[in-house]
Each structure stands twice: as C-alpha cells, then as structure tokens.
Amino acid sequence: MIEFKDVSVRRDGRVLFSDASFQLHPNHKIGLTGNNGTGKSTLFALLLTQMGVGDTEVTLDKGEVSIPESWQVAHMAQEVGASSQTAIDYVLSGDEQWYQLNEALSDLSNVSDEQIGILHQQFDEIDGYRTPTKAAQIMAGLGFKASQHEQPVKGFSGGWRMRLNLAKTLMSRADLMLLDEPTNHLDLDAILWLETWINQFTSLVIVISHDQTFLDATVDHILHVEQQKITLYTGNYQQFVRTRHERMAQQQQAYEKQQATRAHLDDFIRRFRAKASKAKQAQSRIKQLERMAELSPMMADNPFSFKFYEPAHMSTPLIEMTKADIGYSDIPLLHNANVQVTPDTRLSLLGMNGAGKSTLIKALVGELKVLSGTYQVSDTLKLGYFNQHQMDALDAAATPMQMLRRLAGKTSDATLRSFLGSFDFRGERIDTPSELFSGGERARLTLALIVWQRPNVLVLDEPTNHLDLQMRQALTLALQGFQGAVVLVSHDRELIANVCDELYLVHDGRIDEFAGDISDYGKWLAEKRKQENAQDKNSNKQAKDKKAQMTLVSRETDNRAKNKEAKHSESAQATATTKAESQTSKNPASTLSKEEQRKLAAEQRKLTAPIRREIENTEKALVKLDEQLASLETELADTELYEAHRKADLIALLDKQASLQQQHNDKEESLLVAMTSLEEMEAKFN
C-alpha cells in the first residue's frame, strides 16, 4: 500500500499541492487527472524519488510518503535513444529479472555446476521460458509485426519508439506501474488491446490520460489534482465527474448560504454598532464573522468556452472526389475513392495505422493530387485544416496576439483578447512567444486561428493528441454547434461518437462506408487483428520452413560430400577391387594399385568440388538476399516514407526491392540446377 500523510510539495517557488492524504492499494487502477500544470507529472516524479529511481528529484516540503521497501516500479519513459539493440531485445529488457538470468545462462563457462542449477531453478520460478512469448504478444498487441522484432530500435520512427517504450514498461514485473499518456501514439486497435491488458494486470497502476473513454474502461479510482488539493474518488471517470459536480453544487450552496449570513451580520453591525444598547450584540456579530471559515464559490468547471462562427457562404458539394486513385510517385495506395463533402457532412475516417487515412486527408484538402479520377472543390470552399504540421508551422517568435492580429486586421485589441481568453490564453500568455508553449498550448492556438477564419469545412487530423480533458470537452461542444462540414481522423472515441454520424473505413486500399457505430468498429478491429496475426504467423512459418529446408539441403549436401571423402579412403580398396574385377573380366591382366585408387578418389573430389562450392556460395547469397529483402519490407512499412518530400527515397527503395527480388529468383533457380547436377554426377560415380 502507498500512503500519503499531509504531503505538501512546492516547485519553482509555487505550491502544487498541500496537506494531501490518501491511500492507494495493490490491484487498484488509478486515473490521475487535473488541468495541465497542476502537478500530475510532479506526483509521478515524487513517487519515483521516494522509490530511489527517476531522473528528476522531488522533495517534500511537509508530510510523509510511505511505500513498501520491497516494491519495484516501472515508469514509461518519454524518450528513446537511437539504440542498435533489436526491438525484441529492447522490450525483453523491461523484465530485468529475466534479462539478467538469461544473460547469465547464455555464458556458463565460468559458473560452477551448483550455480548453474540455482540459475535454472530461478529461471523456472519466474516462468522464464514463456517470457519471450509474452514479449511477442505485447508487441503484437501494440501493432508490431513479427518481421519487425529483429529491426534495431534506431530504425523506428519517434512514434513507434514510444510504442517500444510502452511495450518495455508492460514487460516489467513491477508492483507499481506509472503510465504517462500511454495512448498518445497508439491507434484505436492498440488502445483497445491496452485496455484489456491493464484490466488483467494484477499490481497497482497509475495512469495519466486525457482519453475519457480509455479511463472509463480501465480505472476504478480517480486521483484528482485541483486548487492545490489532491482528492481520491471511487469509480471510473464518469462516476468521478458526477460525484465532483455534486460536491461542487453542495459547495456552491454552502457558499451562497454563507454569503447571505455574512450580509445579514454586516447589515446588523452597520445599523447597531453605534447604539449603546446594541453595541454588545454588534461586537458579538463581529467575532462571529471573524470565526466564520472562508468558503470559495464554485470555480468555473471549464476555462474554455469557444464556439465556431457561422460560415458566410456555402454551396453543395463543397468537396467531391470521384473514382480517384490516391498515392505517391504514381503508385496508388487507395483505389476508386468516392467521397463527397456537403455542408451537412459529419464524417469520421476509421482504419488501422498505415491504412491511408492521412493520405486520404491530404487528397481531400488538395495537398496531394489524385493519380486518376476527379477532384473538385466549390468556389465557396473555406477550409479549416488541423494537423501536426499546422502546429509545427506556427511562427515560433510570434505571440498569440501577434498571430491573431495578422488575420484580424483592424479588430480592436479588446475583442482579440476576449477571443483568445476563450481558449484560455490570458494575462502574460497572450504576449508569450509560441516557442515557449507546450504541445497543448500550440494545439489550442492553432485551433483558435482556424476558428477566427470562419471555415465552412473543418478537416481535423488527430486534433486531441495534446489536449487535456477540459479542452476536449470544449472542442466537442463547439463541433456539435458548428454549422459547416466536419471530416475527422481521431482515436478519441468520445469525440467521434458525439460529433460524427457517418463512419468511413479505410482498409486494403479501399474507402467504404462502415455499417455500425464506433463500438462495432472496435469489434471489427479485434477480429481483423486476429486474422492478421494468424497470417503473419503463417507467413513467418513458411519463411522459416523454407529457410530450414534450404539449410537442411545444404547440410545434407555437405554431409554427403564429407561422408564420401571419408569413405573414399575406407572404400578405395573396395572400389579398386570392383574396378579391377570389371577390368579383369574385360582384360584379365588389368589391375589397380593403391596409388591408382587414391588418384581415382582425388579425381572424383576434383570433379565435384566446383559444383559443391557453387551450391555453398549460392546458399550464402540467398541468406543475405533474404535479410536485405526483410529489411526493405520494414522500411517500406514506414508511413512517413509516403510523404511527398520522400518521393525519391520511395522510388529508390522500390527499385532496390525489385532488383533484389529478381536476384533472389535467379539464385534459387541456379541452386536447383546445381543440386540436380551434383546428384547426377554422384550417381555416375556410385
């Protein structure tokens, strides 16, 4: 059990929380919530400090934190170095006990028999032989293919490295697991898998997340940080919201009642303080006011209160794509796409990571030209496009006020400040350069600039990745009131369910209307992932069988040659005798000496040596080609490769793949011819 007793923490001269007291028990699943900057990450750092780990040390101003000394902690790191370690080894290293035992068992040259027995016993006790299977299952759940297991960590993009970090954390045998925004880099199928994994995990989990649906599905308690206080609520996020609102309503009623009492006392004191007959009673009322505990009014539940302006002009359709092939470098990824965006469109694009959702989005907004078919937009189209690139393209040196002023012309400063305030840019933050902003602040500023321009079509690619729960709620309400069209890509199920009434599935190079709701899509994903894993296992089995077959053929060929060479000396006499008898039958005077027998054996070896060397060299070349093709497949699976600026890289890789495949086919054919020739030659000798 973890226990906080009257804990207070101050960072950078600011009190984050004070007098915090609560208990967290094993097997609890805790959601840590609160506005950005309230101290959630500091609470994680404090727990890590108390357990003697972590990069950032946090000290207590007051109070006591009690954690069992035997407990182990696992914390999901936010960065991964460019390691040459393979992905599967990196994930396995998360189980430190297994990793250390496996390292020890891999080199037993300096270990006594007694120590070897102890190591094997410890390995059995932790079920070590099943650990690699567990790692493979975790990687599959997070979207990794078996062919990626041997790829070095440095070969993955930033988002996939974060998945590796999560996989490594999940491998730990920890008593306490700390997960900071684990769903940020996951697609929906991986999020659904992670929900199941957390529910089955038997130790204490504390998770920071802004995904309400994820919290509802995984946690049984909420630890909420607000106004320098930490409060523990029982239940999932929905229950927490309901309970908190009830408490706030009660607090508001108590505050209003107290204010009425204060007003009554003030009025009595004001009227009777100067009268001698009432002076004593007035003094009593003054003391009563002084003793009265100060209650706060109910704080505004959400600092964000923006809405989208009504579009000025609209016609229908606003965007229309008909029988379009979409892709890069004349290579279509999506075929025969038909999408029509009208003022009433509320469309969400679904599909697994890498299926082509972002590619379709780029075609819809005109960033990517269709390879065939038609693409048309209305003269009245005014597009509001949000994606990660838009956030990164913000003027780093400019403040929110300066950027908005560029769009707003002669609009008054008061109006602009009020508008920015609805996105929680107030006080000094209005005049702070955006380079100093967090990811959440940049996302809010990007949305604010889009809203100001009064678009009639909103195309939003993962708009909630950096937004906290309150901003997500505000965005949902604003989108519900928006009078234009919405095209959305998001893994936030709450947002999709509340905003979109059409679901389109991007899969296998097609775009089709999805019959069902977002919960049905979760079931579809689970079934599809199961099928893909089965196919992946089957293809890997076939590849392994093929490699094993080739290895077996090679081994048999080598053994046959070695056996023949070994037998040459033993059977030289028998061979010579047989030949002598044959020759004697034709020419009785003809016989073979031992020297002639040795020459005959050497001649046979000499005749077959070139073809055996050819077989050996061809097999080695095939192994290298298999490795190169597997590496290319991994590179081609990277969705960033299909960005417009990577066109040359993509063409080069595809050309290389075609060349290697042709070489592979030629080598296989040469190997079969050589093996057939060797068998025929050996048959003649025998």
Q: Please report the pLDDT score of residue 647 as a whole number.
A: 66
Q: Give the CATH number of the domain where residue 178 resides.
A: 3.40.50.300
Q: Per the omega criterion (within 30 degrees of 0), is the bond before 317 cis?
A: yes
Is there a single domain that holds both residue 14 and residue 68? yes
308, part of any domain: no
Q: Distance between alpha carbon 580 and the CA centroid of its chain, in Å?
A: 76
From 141, 169, 197, give the residue that closes a domain. 169
Percent of the chain with pLDDT strictly greater than 90: 36
Q: Please report the pLDDT score of residue 584 as a whole number.
A: 43
State which residues form the domain around 131.
Answer: 79-169
Neighbours of 652 (CB within 10 A): 11
Q: Please report the pLDDT score of residue 158 as a whole number.
A: 76
Whole-angstrom distance, CA of residue 478 vs CA of residue 113: 71
Whole-angstrom distance, CA of residue 681 vs CA of residue 324: 59
Over residues 165-221, the pLDDT tens digits come to 999 999 999 999 999 989 887 888 889 889 999 999 999 999 999 888 899 999 999
Look at residue 19 and tell me whether its pLDDT is greater than 50.
Answer: yes
Reading the block at residue 426, the tokens are 């107030």
DSSP assignments along 328-394, one per residue = ETTEEEEEEEEEEE-TT-EEEEE--TTSSHHHHHHHHTTSS--SEEEEEE-TT--EEEE-HHHHHTS
Q: Which of 374, 376, 256 lies closest to 317 in space, CA to CA?
A: 376
Percent of the chain with pLDDT strictly greater than 70: 80
286, part of any domain: no
Whole-angstrom distance, CA of residue 145 vs CA of residue 564: 44
Whole-angstrom distance, CA of residue 424 vs CA of residue 169: 34
Q: Please report the pLDDT score of residue 686 as a whole number.
A: 58
Q: Please report the pLDDT score of residue 335 as a whole number.
A: 94
Average pLDDT over residues 604-633: 77
Q: Please report the pLDDT score of residue 657 as a whole number.
A: 75
Q: Which of 325, 338, 354 lies closest to 642 in space, CA to CA?
A: 354
Over residues 253-294, the pLDDT tens digits come to 777 777 777 777 677 677 666 655 556 566 666 765 665 555
Q: Please report the pLDDT score of residue 89 as a whole number.
A: 92
Classified as helix, coil or strand, 210 is coil
Look at residue 572 and tell me whether its pLDDT is greater than 50.
Answer: no
Look at residue 302 and tell me whether its pLDDT is greater than 70.
Answer: no
From residue 540, give the alpha-carbon distance in Å to each of 132, 133, 145, 148, 149: 16, 15, 10, 12, 12
Classified as helix, coil or strand, 459 is strand
Q: Please report the pLDDT score of residue 374 as a whole number.
A: 96
Model confidence at 567, pLDDT cuts 50, 70, 90, reads very low
Is there a single domain that holds both residue 352 and residue 491? yes
Greatest mean pLDDT range, 80-94, 416-430, 612-626: 416-430
From 225, 252, 279, give the residue that closes a domain. 252
Strand ordering across the sheet containing 372-377? 331-341, 319-328, 372-377
Is there a single domain that holds both residue 199 and residue 142? no
Average pLDDT over residues 397-409: 93
Is there a single domain that holds both residue 495 and residue 614? no
158, part of any domain: yes
Which pTM was predicted? Answer: 0.66
282, part of any domain: no
Q: Which position has the higher pLDDT, 306 or 49?
A: 49
Over residues 496-529, the pLDDT tens digits come to 988 888 999 999 899 999 988 888 888 888 787 7
Is there a single domain that holds both residue 141 and residue 191? no
Q: Please report the pLDDT score of residue 304 as a whole number.
A: 78
Average pLDDT over residues 603-618: 76
Q: Which position has the higher pLDDT, 26 or 278?
A: 26
Contact 371, 330 (CB under 8 A): yes
299, part of any domain: no
Using a 10 angstrom Cβ sphere, with 0-12 exposed, 13-18 middle and 19 or more buried, the burial of residue 421 is: middle
Is there a single domain that holds both residue 676 and residue 647? yes
Is there a single domain that holds both residue 203 and residue 103? no
Contact 448, 416 (CB under 8 A): no
Q: Please report the pLDDT score of residue 395 as a whole number.
A: 92
> 396-400, 488-492, 556-560 — which is least confidently predicted?
556-560
12, part of any domain: yes
Mean pLDDT over each residue of the chain, to the nearest integer: 81
Is there a single domain that holds both residue 543 and residue 650? yes
Q: Which of 676, 634, 666 lies closest to 155 in space, CA to CA?
A: 634
Model confidence at 574, pLDDT cuts 50, 70, 90, reads very low
Q: Please report the pLDDT score of residue 595 as a whole number.
A: 66
104, part of any domain: yes
Q: Please report the pLDDT score of residue 563 as a whole number.
A: 52
From residue 331, give the alpha-carbon distance in Å to each of 213, 323, 325, 589, 642: 37, 16, 9, 77, 10
306, part of any domain: no
Over residues 189-201, the pLDDT tens digits come to 889 889 999 999 9
Is there a single domain that holds both residue 501 and residue 572? no
For residue 468, what is the DSSP state? -
Is there a single domain that holds both residue 140 and residue 199? no
From 169, 197, 221, give the residue that closes a domain. 169
Q: Please report the pLDDT score of residue 23 as a whole number.
A: 94
Is there a single domain that holds both residue 381 and residue 485? yes
Look at residue 341 and tell me whether its pLDDT is greater than 50.
Answer: yes
Domain count, the chain: 4
Model confidence at 597, pLDDT cuts 50, 70, 90, reads low
Is there a single domain that holds both residue 110 and residue 93? yes
